[in-house]
C-alpha cells in the first residue's frame, strides 16, 4: 500500500520522470513514524497553535479539490514546523513527525498539480525536520531538490537560501570543504544580485565555518563584514524614514497655506458681489 502511495506521488506531474522521489520515500518514509497521523494526547495538550491546527484540519473536510487540500496541508505543516517553540522533547518529536506526515501528503498533491512552488516548500520543510533529527542524508537530499527547482526557475534568492542550508548541513557533518564551496557560490550570487542582506547572511555562515576550521582571523574578518553591512542597511533605513518624515512635514506646511489662499480668494469673490 505504501508503494502505491509513493507511486502516486511521482505520477502525472512535474516529477513524473524523477523516480528518485519514490526511492527516497521508500527508504526514509518506512523508517519514519511520519506516515502515522498521531492522535497522541500530548499533541493536544501543547499550547502551540492548537486553535489554528484544529481549524485547519476541519477545513480539510470541506476542501473540494487538490489545490485547496494542498494549500491547507502546507498551512498545517507551517504550524507543526513551530516545534522549536516547544520545550518538551516528546511533544517536539511528535510535532516533527506530524510535519513530516503533512509534508509528504502535500508533496503528493503538489506533484500531481505540477506546482513547483509547493514542491519547494515541501522539500524545504522536510529538509528542516530531518536536519533537526540529525538525519543528514535525508536533509541533504531534500534541500538539493529545493535547490534544483530554484535553479530551474532562475530564482536567485531561493538558490542562495538553499545553498546556505546545504552549507550548514555540511558543516554539521564536518564536510567543511564542500560547505565552503556552497558559501562561495552564495556569496557570488548575493553580489551579482545586488542583495546586501543576503550577503550579510552569507558572512554569518562564514563566521561559523571559519570557527569550525579554527581560522579565527578569517572568522573575525567575516564578522566585521557582516556588521558593516548590517550597519549600512540600518543607516539606509533611517535615512529613508527621515526623508519620508520630511516629505510629510512639507505637505503639512503646504496644505495650510493653500487653505488660507483659498479662503482669501473666496472672501474677495464675496466682497466683489
Identify which of 78, 74, 91, 81 has the alpha carbon closest to the alpha carbon of residue 40. Answer: 91
Evaluate whether 207 touches 174 at the Cβ level (below 8 Å).
no
Can you give the pLDDT at residue 250? 66
CB atoms closer than 10 angstroms to residue 97: 23
Cell digits of residue 210: 571559519
pLDDT at position 264: 54
Structural contact between residues 37 and 101, judged by C-beta atoms closer than 8 angstroms? yes
pLDDT given at position 243: 76
What's the rounded Cα separation, in Å, for the pair 121 and 55?
21
Instruction: Spell out a b/e string for 120-153, using b for 16 or more CB atoms within 10 Å of the CB, else e.
Output: bbbbbbbbbbbbbeebeebbbbbbbbbbebbeee
Would you place residue 236 in the very low, low, confident or very high pLDDT band (cuts 50, 70, 90)? confident
Contact 101, 39 (CB under 8 A): no
Q: If you average pLDDT over residues 168-179, what whole number do you get?
A: 97
Band (pLDDT 50/70/90 cuts) for residue 88 is very high
Q: In a 3-state reduction of DSSP, which class is residue 230?
A: helix
User: Is residue 186's pLDDT more than 90?
Assistant: yes
Instruction: Tell me which long-range contacts 131-137 makes (C-beta under 8 A, separation of at least 24).
Output: 131/165, 131/169, 131/172, 132/83, 132/96, 133/96, 134/172, 135/28, 136/169, 136/172, 136/173
- Which residue would you say has higher pLDDT here, 12 or 251? 251
42 pLDDT tier (thresholds 50, 70, 90): very low
Residue 246's pLDDT is 66
pLDDT, position 265? 60
Residue 242 is predicted with a pLDDT of 76
What is the reported pLDDT for 18?
46
**Mean pLDDT on 82-92:** 94
pLDDT of residue 223: 96
Question: Cell match 520522470: residue?
Answer: 17
Amino acid at each position: 500500500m505504501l508503494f502505491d502511495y509513493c507511486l502516486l506521488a511521482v505520477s502525472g506531474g512535474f516529477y513524473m520522470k524523477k523516480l528518485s522521489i519514490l526511492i527516497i520515500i521508500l527508504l526514509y518514509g518506512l523508517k519514519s513514524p511520519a506516515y502515522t497521523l498521531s492522535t497522541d494526547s500530548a499533541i493536544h495538550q501543547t499550547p502551540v497553535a492548537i486553535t489554528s491546527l484544529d481549524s485547519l484540519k476541519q477545513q480539510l473536510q470541506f476542501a473540494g479539490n487538490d489545490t485547496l487540500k494542498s494549500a491547507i496541508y502546507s498551512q498545517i505543516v507551517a504550524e507543526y514546523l513551530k516545534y522549536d517553540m516547544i520545550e518538551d522533547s516528546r511533544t517536539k518529536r511528535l510535532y516533527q513527525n506530524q510535519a513530516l506526515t503533512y509534508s509528504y501528503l502535500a508533496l503528493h498533491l503538489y506533484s500531481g498539480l505540477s506546482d513547483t512552488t509547493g514542491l519547494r516548500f515541501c522539500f524545504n520543510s522536510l529538509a528542516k525536520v530531518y536536519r533537526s533529527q540529525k538525519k543528514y542524508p535525508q536533509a541533504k537530499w531534500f534541500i538539493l531538490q529545493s535547490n534544483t527547482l530554484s535553479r530551474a526557475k532562475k530564482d536567485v534568492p531561493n538558490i542562495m537560501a538553499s545553498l546556505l542550508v546545504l552549507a550548514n548541513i555540511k558543516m554539521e557533518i564536518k564536510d567543511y570543504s564542500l560547505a565552503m564551496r556552497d558559501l562561495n557560490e552564495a556569496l557570488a550570487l548575493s553580489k551579482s544580485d545586488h542583495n546586501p542582506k543576503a550577503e550579510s547572511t552569507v558572512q554569518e555562515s562564514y563566521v561559523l565555518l571559519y570557527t569550525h576550521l579554527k581560522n579565527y582571523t578569517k572568522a573575525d574578518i567575516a564578522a566585521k563584514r557582516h556588521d558593516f553591512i548590517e550597519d549600512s542597511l540600518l543607516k539606509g533605513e533611517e535615512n529613508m524614514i527621515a526623508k519620508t518624515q520630511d516629505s510629510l512635514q512639507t505637505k503639512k506646511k503646504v496644505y495650510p497655506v493653500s487653505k488660507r489662499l483659498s479662503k482669501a480668494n473666496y472672501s474677495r469673490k464675496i466682497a466683489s458681489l
